[in-house]
Amino acid sequence: MGDQQQLILATGGYDHTIKVWQAHTGNCIKTMRFVETSQVNALERTPDKTRLAACGYQCIRLYDLESNCTAPVINFDGVQKNVTRLGFQEDGNWMFTAGEDHHVRIWDMISAPPHCSRVFDCEAPVNAACLHPNQVEIAMGSQNGSVFLWDVKSERHERIVPEVDSSIQDVAISPDGRYLAAANNKGKCYIWSLSSQDQKMSTLRPTKKIPAHKRYILRCKFSPDSRLLLTTSGDGTVAIWKTEDFQKPDEPNKWCELRIDNYWVWDAAFSADSKWLFTASSDGIARLWKLETKEPMRDYTGHTKAITALSFKDEIVGK
């Protein structure tokens, strides 16, 4: 896992704090106060790794990771209701946020202070959003069961409802751009194949429906090598699937399952070499797992309540 100076794990949760850890030692190197009225819904580092964005109830905050300051350096104005997800365009020129005000917003990060430059209306509370590796399309999932794909440049969009009377809890696009996954509150994870031609918007082809969990799914994510897909759930497990099986007619077999019994697994993140996994769970502990052995190798302890979000990014593939 890359240059150890850069190996920073960030966690946030119901105790209104964000903690920054040395991933390779488990040492907490910084604690930052979040908003007293909110849990942390999502965390994301800026592409240059110098700052950390966090979102929650009626708030988006940007923190400086390189200074000793623990207060946010930017508070984003005019944010309504729960902000559920955020992420950055690869150059850091803009950020996207999704929220229960029905909107996905594009924030111009070059201007000071940042301002909202584009808005997409999903007509229902938005639980999740993620950026396609092409840096142009954003996938979104809403509480009325809709999955949207929005082309930010052309303003075109497509809408799919994979299962009525369900809520999409998370969406993910594989780093190779081949698959879109959407996970819902009934334990199902839907997979579409993505294809694009001649600068046109991606087309979606239904590929697989995975009965991943018996309970609520909280997150779905692809590994950096696009070979694995994980789902985390309120059933105390992380289920991991091989993406090569999506094309087979029979149900894909779970490649492995990680268990944290009796606790919700709220979030997870792969290492860049796709061999390690961080998890965040409601017992207030973040864990580092070695996927080869399916064993937890390190605990990150310090939060006093459930950890609901984490962020880890390392660019250099380990030996």
Question: Cα-atom radius of gyration of the chain, to the nearest Å?
Answer: 18
Tokens of 64: 């400086």
- DSSP assignment of 124-178, as one string? S-EEEEEE-TTSSEEEEEETTS-EEEEETTT--EEEE-SSTT--EEEEEE-TTS-
91 falls within a domain: yes
The tally of domains found in the chain comes to: 1
158 falls within a domain: yes
Query: What is the Cα–Cα distance from 207 to 189, expressed in whole angstroms?
Result: 11
95 falls within a domain: yes
Tokens of 80: 């309504």
60 falls within a domain: no
Mean pLDDT per 10-residue section of the chain, whose length is 319 residues: 68 97 95 94 96 97 94 91 97 98 97 94 97 97 97 94 96 97 97 86 93 94 96 96 79 84 96 96 97 95 98 65
At residue 317, the pLDDT reads 39
Query: What is the Cα–Cα distance from 151 to 138, expressed in whole angstroms?
Result: 7
284 falls within a domain: yes
Which residues fall within 8 angstroms of residue 243, CB to CB, at 6 or more apart?
Answer: 174, 178, 179, 222, 226, 227, 228, 229
Contact 76, 114 (CB under 8 A): yes
Positive/negative CA dihedral, 244, 247, 252, 253:
negative
Predicted model pTM:
0.94
At residue 196, the pLDDT reads 82
Query: What is the Cα–Cα distance from 259 to 277, expressed in whole angstroms?
Result: 13
At residue 255, the pLDDT reads 85
Length of the chain: 319
At residue 101, the pLDDT reads 97
68 falls within a domain: no
Contact 265, 285 (CB under 8 A): no
3 falls within a domain: no
**Structural domain containing residue 98:** 74-312
- The CATH number covering residue 101 comes to 2.130.10.10
67 falls within a domain: no
At residue 294, the pLDDT reads 93
